A = this chain, B = another copy of it.
């Protein structure tokens, strides 16, 4: 048995997230079907996290366990030949059998894209949230620094989240504008259910005046989901990378 660490890019628009579900097409299932076609056997695939329906990835990590003589390069090329066009394997390497893509993950980086032009952009349809009112990126960047550090993020977790420990550490949060595109980028040791989308939605509410400037430390402190902002739509969210200690 060998263990391959794959890095995936996918446009999540057509998928009900990563994890296998009944009656819905997911990325995990699509990858398992592709692997079965190549390797002739059902191979277990484990992801670095769940993702919501419609969420995208530039560097989603997962492990594929298989009995095969294929080199990582050949396995990658074979998977890319049979996977649908909205999923690609950007990297593939062999890792120890003890390696686990979720438990061994040290930190993850997500990006959220907002198309902030006056009119919608067909090329960001389903790939960015369209928000036509002007965002002040330096202001939002400054406000968002309140998220950095080790905090209880209960106020920024969907009510149906099942995790008990809601303390997470955010290492960096940036908000940058490039033309009419605004990028929110956040790196942390882990993220609660819907957390990135609520962090971004809260910043949008702050911009719109529904929350007061400087109020984010108090919102965090409250641990009250009702004090934070709306959940931004899934279509703007990208898992950019998962980082591991030297394997």
**Which residues in A have some Cβ–Cβ distance to B below 8 Å?**
9-11, 56, 76, 80, 85-90, 119-123, 125-127
* CB<8 Å pairs between A and B, sample of 17: A9-B122, A9-B123, A11-B122, A11-B123, A56-B123, A76-B119, A80-B120, A85-B122, A85-B125, A85-B126, A86-B122, A86-B125, A87-B122, A88-B120, A88-B122, A89-B119, A90-B119
Which residues of B sit under 8 angstroms from A90, Cβ to Cβ?
A: 119
Which residues of B sit under 8 angstroms from A11, Cβ to Cβ?
A: 122-123, 125
Q: Which of A10, A56, A90, A127 has its CB near the most chain B CB atoms (within 10 A)?
A: A90
CA gap between A209 and B123 in the complex, in Å? 34
Q: Across the two chains, which residue of chain B brings its CB closest to A85?
A: B125
Contact B127 A123 (CB under 8 A): yes
CA gap between A9 and B80 in the complex, in Å? 31
CA gap between A18 and B127 in the complex, in Å? 24
CA gap between A89 and B121 in the complex, in Å? 9
Q: Across the two chains, which residue of chain B brings its CB closest to A58?
A: B123
CA gap between A125 and B126 in the complex, in Å? 14
Q: Quick one: given A11-B125, A125-B11, are A85 and B119 in contact (CB under 8 Å)?
A: no
Q: Across the two chains, which residue of chain B brings its CB closest to A117?
A: B90
Q: Which of A88, A89, A119 has its CB near the most chain B CB atoms (within 10 A)?
A: A119
Q: Which of A11, A89, A120 has its CB near the most chain B CB atoms (within 10 A)?
A: A120
- Tell me, rounded to whole Å, the shortest Cβ–Cβ distance linking A114 to chain B: 16
CA gap between A56 and B9 in the complex, in Å? 23
CA gap between A89 and B120 in the complex, in Å? 9
Q: Across the two chains, which residue of chain B brings its CB closest to A125?
A: B85
Which residues of B sit under 8 angstroms from A122, Cβ to Cβ?
A: 9-11, 85-88
CA gap between A9 and B117 in the complex, in Å? 13
- Tell me, rounded to whole Å, the shortest Cβ–Cβ distance linking A29 to chain B: 17
- Tell me, rounded to whole Å, the shortest Cβ–Cβ distance linking A137 to chain B: 22
Q: Across the two chains, which residue of chain B brings its CB closest to A56?
A: B123
CA gap between A184 and B198 in the complex, in Å? 40
| The 7 nearest A-B residue pairs measured at CB | A11-B122, A85-B125, A86-B122, A88-B120, A9-B122, A88-B122, A88-B119
Which residues of B sit under 8 angstroms from A86, Cβ to Cβ?
A: 122, 125
